[in-house]
A and B are shown apart, each in its own frame.
Chain A
Amino acid sequence: MTGERAEPPRFLPQPSPVSQPFWEAARRHELVLQRCSGCEAHVFYPRYNCPHCGSRDLEWVKALGRGTVYSYTVARRPTHPAFADRVPYVIAIVELEEGPRMTTNIVDCDPDSVHIDMPVAVTFEDISDEISLVMFRPAAG
């Protein structure tokens, strides 16, 4: 790596055939989920079969991109050296309006302002030419 300072390595997701549509959508700054045609549950992360009913009949749907903070923590020290320049940062589990929970970061706010049940909206961080991570920020209003 060249440049004025060595960037710490970020962990790049390696899309699989099952998850490829999710990452392609994220690159377009769209959040998509799988939805089970059998039991109508939404599914995250991308699977081969519905983890609720076992059905193989999953289709991709656009998500609302809204949710609430189910739980969170503020990393006062890095959870890995690669994240040293980001402390303090918020690791959270967001519960999407569609139901599934996902691990993410809450960004664009003071870490100490984050709280459980806080409404959040999706945002994206481009971390490579192919990958945009799905993150959340406080919902407007």
Chain B
Amino acid sequence: MSVRGRAAIVGVGELKPTRYTEGETTLTMLAKAGLLAIEDSGIPFEEIDGLLTQPLPEAPMLAPSTMIEFLGIRANYAEVVDLGGATGAGMVWRAAAAIAAGLCATCLCLTGARREQRPEGRGRMGWGGMRDASPYAEFEVPYGAIGANFGYAQIAMRYMHEYGAKPEQLAKIAVDQRYNACANPDAIFYGQPITIEDVLSSPLIVDPLHMLEIVMPAAGAAAVVVTSAERAKGLANSPAYVLGAGERCTHKAITYAPSLTDSAIKAAADTAFEMAGIGREDIGLASIYDCYTITVLLTLEDAGFCGKGEGGRFVEELDLRYHGDFPVNTHGGQLSFGQAGLAGGMSHVTEAARQVQRRAGERQVKGLEFAYVNGNGGIMSEQASLILGRNP
């Protein structure tokens, strides 16, 4: 089944990322973003009949019904989506597929994270870790393979060994994205431009990744409303149609990835572009997961915007800023916007939707028709690609 043109994003809601929250619950943060998205869509609250939520720390089981009850929604379709950073993009095509299959007409998609300030040295396991009793806990964690830094560092090491990208080229990704963030008052690093020298002189955390190449955890939430192509007509915002989608997952721990330098993004992107029936040259915005600079480089290659091993030169020669010749992550990316848990991945969806709807303000990409979105979960584990466009 193809979802091409069957559904559209018509509303987005987002909380400005902050470093910490105090006494907030994930439920309340998701509700705040969710209501903003519903109001933004102009569709009455009572019409929401589908709900996709991320896993909820407060409710290890039955997350969808927890959110449905908390919000007061009556849903004909309810799921939890657990794809790490690919959750947001994965939600959008699942919503579109459910709508195309007639399961629901209008689906609310919710992501977000609270973040309590904790005493030094506590609560820093990141995803997985102590509560994980899977093989990951048995064969990765005992070696200090905890969190994500160590994994992306090994990807960058291997990439540099095979293809030889320069540190300055990777750093430029962070610099151009920071420029974009300086046109986004909601970005956590708004008003703080950086240079390549700043990136390369920031502390080395895990070889070869510098601090300014590593995403900063934050608190926040992001939500979108997806509705049918029919219902999307005549609303306040022009629709951002879901034209293509693709997904691929091959491993959990990076150890068992088929390759460190050829990712599952290729399969996800190929499926999405084939469904949309457009080419890479039609894309006016790449809104792609950027937990680290190396992630952006690999995504540009594996999604087919440049050849394998050409990513370094590609980002060096092209202008990734919102007014440049190849705009990437116009909201600043998570590196500069902030990574509010799974809302970080959703921020690539909300920004692409705003841009396709041509309401991104100062950072609007002129004449934009098509945007490519990629969500990346775990350590290059789950990949979900979307193509959004102005016409069905």
Contacts and interface: CB of A to CB of B under 8 A. Distances in A.
A24 to B, nearest CB: 14
Interface residues of A, number: 36
Contacts of B133: 14
A76 B124 contact: no
A71 B158 contact: yes
Nearest to A112: B207
Given A74-B206, A101-B255, A103-B255, A79 B157 contact: no
A78 B144 contact: yes
B154 interface: yes
A15 interface: yes
B145 interface: yes
B366 interface: no
A79 B150 contact: yes
A62 interface: no
Contacts of B161: 71, 116
Interface in A1-36: 10-16, 19
Contacts of A45: 135, 138-139
B140 interface: yes
B157 A71 contact: yes
Contact of A74 (B142, B207, B253): B207
Closest 6 CB pairs of A and B: A73-B153, A71-B154, A71-B158, A81-B121, A13-B138, A103-B255
Given A73-B154, A81-B124, A91-B145, 20 more contacts: A11-B130, A11-B137, A11-B142, A13-B139, A13-B142, A14-B138, A19-B135, A45-B138, A45-B139, A71-B155, A76-B206, A79-B144, A80-B124, A80-B146, A81-B121, A93-B154, A93-B255, A103-B139, A103-B143, A104-B143
18 contacts: A11-B141, A14-B133, A73-B206, A73-B208, A75-B206, A76-B206, A77-B206, A78-B144, A79-B144, A79-B206, A80-B146, A91-B145, A92-B154, A93-B154, A103-B253, A116-B158, A133-B142, A133-B143
